[in-house]
Structure 1
Amino acid sequence: MKIIKVLSNNAIVVENLQEETLVALGRGIGFGKKPGDAADPALFEAQYLEKNDDVTNSWRQLFSNIPDEIIQTSRKIVSNIERTFAIASQLSLILALSDHIYYAITRASKNQLIRNPLAWDIQIFYPEEYGMAKEAIDLINRSMSVTLPQEEAGFIALHIVNCRHSGNMHDTMHSANLIKDILNIIKLYLRIELNENSLSFQRIVTHLKFFSMRMMNNSPFSLDDASLYVDIKEKLPTSYRCTEKIEGWLNSNHNYTMSLDEKMFLTIHIERLRTPA
């Protein structure tokens, strides 16, 4: 492999035999090197296929501002995430996490805690990602001798959600807020307390995750079978009226009209919440 750019002592941009451009990480792989020198893949601890020049520019900015130990810690966290969720190598996640961790440590050193208003909701809606984020906080605190609060787990969990679902932070937070608001409408309309540990609650949260994605992509789900909808409306009138309340709110606040099928499936999930087995 040939070195194209040296980003730091521990990071280089290389070209492989297939003429693909990679970002490689490894202890000392860039020390004393210059463009055109040969690179030894055996020394690479991780390598990521580079899609465009923006990635290289992002890496250059990252290494000029953020200590290498933070980037190495981020790489370990991302490796754990990739292994746990069986996803492909994520260069963008290392960039995002390194940047977040750096500023989180900076804030913590100044006792400037940023409150995450969605911390509880993220923990409930995305338990796997939140659990992984808590492990990441423990790793950061151990390896870097710092004390980041567990509050940061919510923010890191959002990055993991983005990675798993190929989204962005804005869409992820919008989705979490949307789920939270719909559940609040259900709770207030039916005058019930929601049991976050129940199977019916987990089912409706999963349903609302996918519903929110379809809604943001403006791709409503439809089976084009109105006969199914009529039966649901007649047999589950209370839950159906709750769905109508949600539909009206979505239309007024998000300019979104639910399809008949979306109303049908949401009504079924609301009924399970209303009449748990």
Structure 2
Amino acid sequence: MFIKQILNNNVVSAVDEQGQELILTGRGLGFSASTGERVNAQKIEKTFRLHDDSVSARFKVLVDELPLEIVELTDDIVALARQALPHKLSEGLYVSLSDHLHFALQRSEENMPLHNPLQWEVRHFYQAEYGVGQQALALIAARTGTLLPDAEACSIALHLVNAGINSTTAKTSQITQLIYQVQNIVKYWFRVDPDEESLNYQRFITHLKFFAQRVIDGEIIDNDDAELFAMVQERYKQTVACVEAINAFVQKNYQHTMSQSEKLYLTVHIDNVIKRMTPA
């Protein structure tokens, strides 16, 4: 590998034998080095192979400004997430998460912790991502000696959610809020408390995530399920009435009218989950 650009004493941009640009980190990796010379492989500690040119450009700007410790923490947390989560994560996570960690640690030093208003929702609706967030706090404490508040586990989880659906923080907040609202409508309608450990509840929440994302994106699915929905209307009258209340809510607050297919799928998921709920 040959050095393409020296970003700072610890970070260089390099090109491998296939012409692929890499971002390499390591203590002293760029010190006394020159553009065009071979990289000292013994000093390489982390290798970032980013395929998105725009993400790579933003990441190069960021790593030039951040402490090496933050860059390496970011890579280790992303590795934890990739092991724990079943879906792919966008490369933009390296940029958003490293920037967040830097400011989170700065705020901690200045005794200015931030409360996450979606803390309850993230813990309940994104349990896998929240689990990675908690592992990240332990890793940050071990590396830096700073134990960040639990709200930061939720913030890290939201970055993982964003990277999973290739969204933005504002959009993810809207999606999370809508999941919370729909779940509460079901809870109030049937006067029950959800069994959050049940498989049916987890399937329900997964369905709500995709439903909420479609609502926020203004997308509608309609698979011509009129005949099946008519049968469900007859069989699950109370659940269908709850779904119609949800439809009225999203019409008023999100300008989204549910199709018969959306009503059908939501009815089935709600009916499955309320069977395992206990009266509130």
Contact 1:23 1:50 in 2 (8 A): no
Which amino acid is the alignment partner of residue 126 of structure 2?
Y
1:260 corresponds in structure 2 to 260
Q: Aligned pair in 2 of structure 1 residues 84, 268: CA closer, same or farther (>3 Å)? A: closer
User: Secondary structure at the residue paired with 1:49?
Assistant: coil
Contact 1:132 1:157 in 2 (8 A): yes
Q: Aligned pair in 2 of structure 1 residues 232, 99: CA closer, same or farther (>3 Å)? A: same
1:217 corresponds in structure 2 to 217
Q: Aligned pair in 2 of structure 1 residues 266, 28: CA closer, same or farther (>3 Å)? A: same
1:199 corresponds in structure 2 to 199
Q: Structure 1: any 5+ residue segments left out of the alignment?
A: none
Contact 1:250 1:257 in 2 (8 A): yes
Contact 2:215 2:254 in 1 (8 A): no
Distance 2:28 2:5 in 1: 14
**Post-superposition offset of 1:80:** 2.0
Distance 2:186 2:150 in 1: 30
**Post-superposition offset of 1:159:** 1.0
Q: Aligned pair in 2 of structure 1 residues 238, 91: CA closer, same or farther (>3 Å)? A: closer
**Post-superposition offset of 1:39:** 2.0
Which amino acid is the alignment partner of residue 245 of structure 1?
A
2:60 corresponds in structure 1 to 59
Contact 1:48 1:89 in 2 (8 A): no
Contact 2:216 2:254 in 1 (8 A): no
User: Secondary structure at the residue paired with 1:12?
Assistant: strand
User: Secondary structure at the residue paired with 1:115?
Assistant: coil
When structure 1 is superposed on structure 2, of 133-142 and 114-123 the one drifting more is 114-123
Q: What TM-score, normalized by structure 2, do the two folds share?
A: 0.89
2:5 corresponds in structure 1 to 5
Share of identical aligned residues, percent?
31
Q: How many residues align?
A: 276
Q: Which has the higher contact order (CA 8 A, sep 6+)?
A: 2
Distance 2:37 2:87 in 1: 32
Q: Structure 2: any 5+ residue segments left out of the alignment?
A: none
Q: What TM-score, normalized by structure 1, do the two folds share?
A: 0.90
1:47 corresponds in structure 2 to 48
Distance 2:76 2:249 in 1: 43
The equivalences for 1:210-249 within 5 A come to 210-249=210-249
Contact 2:195 2:201 in 1 (8 A): yes
When structure 1 is superposed on structure 2, of 172-181 and 218-227 the one drifting more is 218-227
Alignment partner of 1:27 is 2:27: yes
